[in-house]
Each structure stands twice: as structure tokens, then as C-alpha cells.
Chain A
Amino acid sequence: MTSSDRTLKVDIWRGNEKGEYQSFEVPERENQTVLDVVTYIQRHLDPALAYRFACRVGVCGSCTMTVNGRPRWTCRTHVSRVVKGGKLTIAPLTNLPVIRDLVTDMTPFFEKWRDARGRFVAGDGPKDELAPVQPESRERSAASAAIECINCGVCYSACDVVSWNDDYLGPAALNRAWAAYNDVRDGDRNGILKAVSQGAGCHTCHSHQSCTEHCPVSLNPTFSIAGLKRASLKAKLKGALK
């Protein structure tokens, strides 16, 4: 990294749901992520700034924030790619309660993972043998396409339907449910369809594809949700969703 005399003007949200933007001047570097900028402010300008990070390499999904109006993983977002006129505006993720500054309460996000029944339920299969899952099978391919989610909350923050309807399960939970549904070892796959098709579940999705547009690891939750819509409709027509 080389230093330069140039600075970035960085507006950062301070407060919780009510608050205001505070401006900082941060030295501009040749190679600099948005997380580097936030860390610089916390270490050199205002130690009271609250934000969240862990791995710094795009694995843990904890450092997501709203950067110039778009939800992003800040550790993998280079300033040069998003800066506008030497200015950055950094806010917490939307659609989640704000605890303080850039830290959101992820509880509703993970409660919906639970409600969408994304966990594995063991079936009655043989306990001593490995369950046969063909790598090329339709189900395995569908699960593989949905499985790399890092739980960062970007899709949840970008989703228009979540912003309109607090009860909507959201793209991440439904994407997880689709991966779980395609696990042929699961003992209660119909249970997943029941969980996601009632109330504000998969059928509430409007297919705007904001989740797919913003997902940092290029998943396609819209495709997963469409899969759940088809599977639950088929199950309903067969009378399996009573």
C-alpha cells in the first residue's frame, strides 16, 4: 500500500433507529476496502464507533453494511469500486433493527432460518451405512447451487418484500430451505414445504430478484424460492400438505 495526501470523505451512521450521519476524513490508499476505512475510523478517529467483523476475507458474513445505498460485504468491497466523488456513505443494513451505529440485530434474520425449517431432520435410513446421494442427481445439483450461503444478510436487506412485510421469511432462509429440501436423506421433506408455504413464506416473493442482484457470493435465491413455489404447489395438488 502506498500513502497519498488525498482523503476520502466518509459519512457514517451514528445512533440506532434514530440518529444522524457523522462525517470523517480518512486517508485514501491505493488498495483499501470499505472495512479498512471503518476500522481506520474506529482505531484513529472515534473508538466509540460500533461495527461488526470477524474473518476479513469474505467467509464469515459479519461485516455487511449499506455502502452508498447498496448492501455489501465490506471486507471484499474495494473503495475504488464504490466511491463516488471521493465520498462514501456507510449505514447499517436495512430491514433489521439497529443496535448501534453500524451494528444490526440479526435475531429476526436467524429466527426466520429456524421458521423456514432449514435444519436437517434425520430419517429412518440405515444408521451404519452412508446414504447414497448421486453427485449428478437433480436434487444434489439443486442443493449444491444453494449451499454456499455465508449468512451475511445482504439479500435480506436488499429484499423489497421484507421491507413491506415484517413476517416474510426472506431470501436467505428460503434459499436454505430449498437446499435442505433437496437433501434426499432428510426424513421430513414435506415438513419443509409446509413450513415455507404457510403465511408469508415462499409464495409472498414477488421475483424482483434484488437478492440475486446483490448476493456477494453470486447465489440465486430467486431460483431457490421459485423451486419451493413449484414443489409446494405440486405437493398441495397431490394433497400432501395437509
Chain B
Amino acid sequence: MSISGITRASRAHPGFVAALVHRLSGLALAIFLPLHFLTLGLALDETAFAGAISWSNQPLVKISESLLVAALAVHFAGGLRVLAIEFLGLTRAQSAWIACCFAFGAGIGILFLMRAF
């Protein structure tokens, strides 16, 4: 038996959750970007591009796109927060700043979803 199994409780705080969301959203964007450029590359072939556009009109795809936009927004805001900690010395009241970053991400995602339908 090892000790480490019970140590996770020390990670249950906003700073760790923010770091986790930042990494996961970054990973999602890194996976998505090549697909995005691939689709843009299809623009050279009119029929293939029209196919891609009609595929992207499906509701499930639109919802996925909104999640990606939310991921981009939360990653952007979270990155600014880390820069503010490191370059402006802003380390107090981080729970509030983290909540603002999440709210910004969710807000942008919802706005995109509203325009998509």
C-alpha cells in the first residue's frame, strides 16, 4: 500500500481547479486547431468545402463549437490571470478572479451558441 492515495484533498482549492481547467482547455484547443486548419484547407475545393459547411450546420457540431469557443475564452482569461499574478503581483482574492475567468468563458460560449442557432 502507498500513502499517496489520500493526498488529493490538498488539491481541492480554486487555484488547482483553475490550473486544471487551463490545461484541459489548452489541450482541447491544441487538438481542435489542426482540424480547423484542415477544414480551411478544403476551401480550395468548392464541393468539399460546401460539404464541410453543411456538416458543421448540425446541432451537435454547433454545440461542440460553442464548447470550443468557451474553452478558448476561459483559456484566454485564465492566461491573463496567470500573467497578472506573475507580472503585476496580483495574488490576493484569486477565488474571485478565477470565478470571473470561468464566467467570462461561459458567457462567451453562450453568446456563440445563441448566434449559432
Contacts and interface: CB of A to CB of B under 8 A. Distances in A.
B85 A226 contact: yes
Contact of A220 (B8, B16, B86, B91): B91
A226 B32 CA distance: 32
Given A207-B86, A229-B86, A91 B1 contact: no
Interface in A43-99: 66, 68-71, 89, 91-92, 94, 98
Q: Which of B6, B16, B82: most chain A Cβ within 10 A? A: B6
A158 B1 contact: no
Interface size class of B (residues with CB under 8 A): 20 to 34
B37 interface: no
A162 to B, nearest CB: 12
B2 interface: yes
Contact of B16 (A68, A70, A98, A208): A208
Counting from the closest, the 9 A-B pairs by CB-CB distance are A69-B9, A209-B15, A223-B91, A213-B13, A20-B1, A70-B10, A69-B6, A208-B19, A226-B86
Interface size class of A (residues with CB under 8 A): 20 to 34
Interface of A: prevailing SS:
mixed
Interface string A193-231: 000000000000011111011100000101100110110
A207 B3 contact: no
Interface of A: 13, 17-21, 66, 68-71, 89, 91-92, 94, 98, 157-158, 160, 206-210, 212-214, 220, 222-223, 226-227, 229-230
Contact of A69 (B10, B19, B92): B10
Interface of B: prevailing SS:
helix
B1 A160 contact: no
A223 B89 contact: yes
A215 to B, nearest CB: 12
Interface string B67-86: 00000000000000010011
Given A209-B15, A210-B15, A17 B2 contact: yes
A170 to B, nearest CB: 15
15 contacts: A17-B3, A18-B1, A19-B1, A91-B3, A94-B3, A94-B7, A158-B10, A206-B19, A208-B16, A209-B13, A210-B11, A212-B15, A226-B87, A226-B89, A230-B89
